[in-house]
Amino acid sequence: MKPAAPRFTHHVAIDWSGASGRRHKGIAVAMIGQHDPAPMLIRPGHIWSREEVLDWVIQETPPETLIGFDLGQSLPFVDCGAFFPEWDQSPPSARDLWALVDGICAQDADLGAHSFVEHAQASRHFRRHGGRQGDLFPPGRGRMRVTELAQARAGCQPTSNLNLVGASQVGKSSLTGMRLFHRLPPTIPVWPIDDVPEQGRVVVEIYTTLAAMAAGRRAGRSKIRSRVDLAQALAALGCEEDEPTQAPLSDHASDALITAAWLRTASAQRKFWYPQALTPHLAHTEGWTFGVA
């Protein structure tokens, strides 16, 4: 796993969605070039499908691009020695987990994950809507990955990827994202599950709150919905924002813009490519959030 910076010419941040359906207002895509004054939204105003994002990443991103997805690239493993204790099909690695989710959800529209959430064995580990809590979902906030525990120590407020309830949950986004990762070609590795090559595109997991905190926001008030606040956040990251006004802005768009700007700076920091707690076993099972040292 070699440090990739500073070879990337472009940085992309994707605010993702695990919602049902074929079009998702919660998806936003932003990109910034190495010498651009500010990040820009890709297809502003467009309502993306997840499959469109997959096609865009494969076909249209520049050849030396770091691409961040705001989701969990895997599930807790280290705490119990398995993703799904008591299930004989529990996979041994993150890539095997992606294949399992994609296979079970093959008939779900637009990389959806409903079939996995409702699966007789998998559902035992999830907290779902309607008060449905699997018998293997532990009391409290649920199982956490090692990187999520590190996020909490950094001042964030992570939620278990096995919790599918509440505004802060990212479980559904994570499961749909796993289907996308499974369908990426081998030429686009996912760090740290895959080694980082000396050239080419790389996908990482991001947490937009980390970028907002780097831009001067508090973890509990990381969402930005005005262009004035967006301009201030981007300025803190060394960027501009055209025509700052009080016009409303979706928090999905602002998350993507701020995180793209942050990625351009963060990707040059060796500590983010070599977190102290990240072992090879952890990398291949739970993965890691880029930006958590």
CATH number, position 212: 3.30.420
Burial degree of 145 (CB within 10 A; 0-12, 13-18, 19+): buried
DSSP class of residue 181 equals H
Average pLDDT for the chain? 92
Task: Specify if 148 maps to a domain.
Answer: no
Task: Specify if 132 maps to a domain.
Answer: no
Main-chain phi, psi angles of 228, to 5 degrees? -65, -50
pLDDT at 29: 97
The structural domain count of the chain equals 1
**With left for phi above 0 and alpha for psi between -120 and 50, is residue 220 left, alpha or beta?**
alpha
Task: Specify if 154 maps to a domain.
Answer: no
Task: Specify if 261 maps to a domain.
Answer: yes
164 within 8 A of 170, measured Cβ to Cβ: no
Question: Residue 278: how many CB atoms within 10 A of its CB?
Answer: 20
Enclosing domain of residue 220? 10-73+183-273
pLDDT at 21: 87
Task: Specify if 115 maps to a domain.
Answer: no
CB-based contacts of 91: which residues, under 8 Å, 6+ apart?
83, 97, 99, 100
Strand-pair partners of 69: 14, 205
Question: pLDDT digits over 92-120, tens only?
Answer: 999 999 999 999 999 999 999 999 999 99
258 within 8 A of 233, measured Cβ to Cβ: yes
Query: Alpha-carbon distance 111 to 50, whole Å?
Result: 7
pLDDT at residue 2 above 80? no
Question: pLDDT digits over 127-161, tens only?
Answer: 998 888 999 999 888 999 999 999 999 999 999 99
Task: Specify if 165 maps to a domain.
Answer: no
pLDDT at residue 5 above 60? no
